[in-house]
Amino acid sequence: MIYPIVKYGQEVLEKPAAPVAQFDGSLEKLVADMFETMYAANGVGLAAPQIGISLNLCVIDVSCGHDPNAKLVLANPQIIAAEGEQVEEEGCLSLPDFRAKTRRPLRATVRAQDPSGTEFTLSGEGLLARALCHEADHLGGKLFISHLSRLKRDSIKRQVRKMIKAGEW
Ligand SMILES: [Zn+2]
């Protein structure tokens, strides 16, 4: 099932998500739906709050569906180490059409649980490190624009407000 994606301005995107506590069939169904929703939107990552569910869960696939081994499910993820720096264009399915150079660690290590509740640790570099940090941010109620300069962030907020007023958001 493909969910509609919640856009910036909705409260669910800006509050910390509730921990995943039940590792059962309904979680697996939700994970499958999140992958379906993410692929349909051509995204490389999707956090549960982006479909209106305040749950500490995200899916990532930096291969855009080309490599089955690249599919990642992270429940209750926590960035436990980060090093280096990269500044690349970043976007978000909840802020469609807005992209901006965003500073992120070059390498990041995350500790999380898989859909069966088993804990694992994963390290990523480049785009994967960016995706891990971007999704972990979502689950803490933070969007990528919080990493931009105030000037840039205010400009995006202003444009969004205009679009909301015009009924285009
Ligand atoms: Zn996002």
pLDDT at 153: 97
Distance CA 132, CA 43 (A): 13
pLDDT digits (tens, 9 = 90+) for 94-109: 999 999 999 999 999 9
Residue 26 CA to ligand 1 center (angstroms) comes to: 23
pLDDT at 45: 98
pLDDT at 18: 98
Q: Which two tokens stand for residue 32?
A: 């499958």
pLDDT digits (tens, 9 = 90+) for 38-67: 999 999 999 999 999 999 999 999 999 999
pLDDT at 20: 98
pLDDT at 12: 98
pLDDT at 48: 98
Is 135 a residue of the active site?
A: yes
Residue 91 CA to ligand 1 center (angstroms) comes to: 7
Residue % of the chain over a pLDDT of 90: 100
Q: What is the value of pTM for the model shown?
A: 0.97
Given the structure tokens 């999704």, which residue do they identify? 135
Residue 144 CA to ligand 1 center (angstroms) comes to: 7
